[in-house]
C-alpha cells in the first residue's frame, strides 16, 4: 500500500477526541536517463526544498568519456546524485534521487535504487537510445517506472505511438511529455508515476487517484 487515507482533522464522534496527525505516505523515487537529459533540472524545478546537487564542471580531461553530441552547451555533470523533495496534495511525500547519467558512474545506481518504489526515466528524442540502460536496469529489478519525454526546444517531435514503438515500451508503462524546467510539468510526470504505482500495488486504489492533485 503506497497511500494513506485522507484525514479530515475532525473530532472523533464517539469521545470527542482529536485523532493524532496521520503521517504522510513517503515514497523514494528515482529520476534517471542519459547524460544531459535534464535530470538535475527536473529535480531542481519540482523540489520544495533547496535541492542537493553533486554537479562538477566538465573539463578537457573528460572528453574521451563524456561525449557531448547533442548537448554541446553542457558545462557540468552529476557525479553522485541529486536530491529533492515534493509533497503532493494527497499527503504523499516524494523523496527524489536523480541518478548520474554517465556510464562511469552507473555503479551508483544499484545503491540509489535500494528502497525505491518507482522511477521517472527522462528521454530526449534526439538521443532516445541513451535511456535504454535505465529502462533495462529497472525492468531487470522489477522497479515500476514511467518514461517522460523531455521536450527540448531543438528536439524532434514524435507521436506517443512512435516513441513507444522506438523504445519497445510495454502497453502498461505510462509515456508522458514534460518540460524539465517547469515545476508544474515535472509534478504532472510525478503524479503519473504515483498513479502507476497505485495501480501496480493495489487494484482497488484507482479510486484514490483523484486525490493526487
Q: What's 161's domain CATH number?
A: 3.40.50.300
Three-state secondary structure call for residue 89: coil
Answer yes or no: is 16 within a domain. no
* Helix spans in the chain (H): 39-46, 107-112, 132-141, 160-167, 183-201
Tens-level pLDDT at each residue, the chain (213 residues): 333 333 233 334 445 544 445 566 889 999 999 888 999 999 999 999 988 876 544 444 445 555 545 554 444 555 458 899 999 877 889 999 998 867 667 778 888 899 999 999 999 998 899 999 999 999 999 999 999 999 887 667 889 999 999 999 999 999 999 999 999 999 999 999 999 999 887 654 444 555 565
Assigned domain for 82 exists: yes
Within a domain: residue 17? no
Closest CA to 137 of 145, 149, 129: 145
- Count of domains in the chain? 1
- The conformational region for residue 70 under phi > 0 = left, psi -120 to 50 = alpha, else beta, is left
Print the domain residue range for 164.
25-205
Which DSSP state fits 24? Answer: P
d(CA 167, CA 38): 19
The answer to whether residue 189 is domain-embedded is yes
Q: Is the pTM of this model over 0.85?
A: no
Amino acid at each position: 500500500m503506497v497511500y494513506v487515507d485522507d484525514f479530515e482533522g475532525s473530532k472523533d464522534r464517539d469521545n470527542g477526541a482529536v485523532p493524532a496527525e496521520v503521517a504522510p505516505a513517503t515514497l523514494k523515487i528515482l529520476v534517471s536517463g542519459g547524460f544531459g537529459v535534464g535530470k538535475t533540472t527536473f529535480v531542481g524545478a519540482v523540489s520544495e526544498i533547496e535541492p542537493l546537487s553533486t554537479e562538477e564542471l566538465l573539463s578537457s580531461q573528460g572528453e574521451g568519456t563524456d561525449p557531448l553530441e547533442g548537448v554541446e552547451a553542457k558545462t557540468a555533470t552529476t557525479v553522485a546524485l541529486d536530491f529533492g523533495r515534493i509533497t503532493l496534495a494527497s499527503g504523499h511525500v516524494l523523496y527524489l534521487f536523480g541518478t548520474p547519467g554517465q556510464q562511469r558512474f552507473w555503479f551508483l545506481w544499484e545503491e540509489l535504487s535500494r528502497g525505491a518504489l518507482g522511477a521517472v526515466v527522462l528521454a530526449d528524442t534526439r538521443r532516445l537510445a541513451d535511456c535504454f540502460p535505465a529502462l533495462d536496469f529497472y525492468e531487470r529489478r522489477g522497479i515500476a517506472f514511467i518514461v517522460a519525454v523531455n521536450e527540448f526546444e531543438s528536439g524532434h517531435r514524435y507521436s506517443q505511438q512512435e516513441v513507444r514503438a522506438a523504445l519497445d515500451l510495454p502497453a502498461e508503462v505510462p509515456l508522458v511529455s514534460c518540460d524539465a524546467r517547469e515545476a508544474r510539468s515535472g509534478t504532472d510526470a510525478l503524479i503519473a508515476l504515483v498513479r502507476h504505482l497505485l495501480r501496480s500495488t493495489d487494484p482497488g486504489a484507482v479510486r484514490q487517484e483523484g486525490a493526487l492533485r
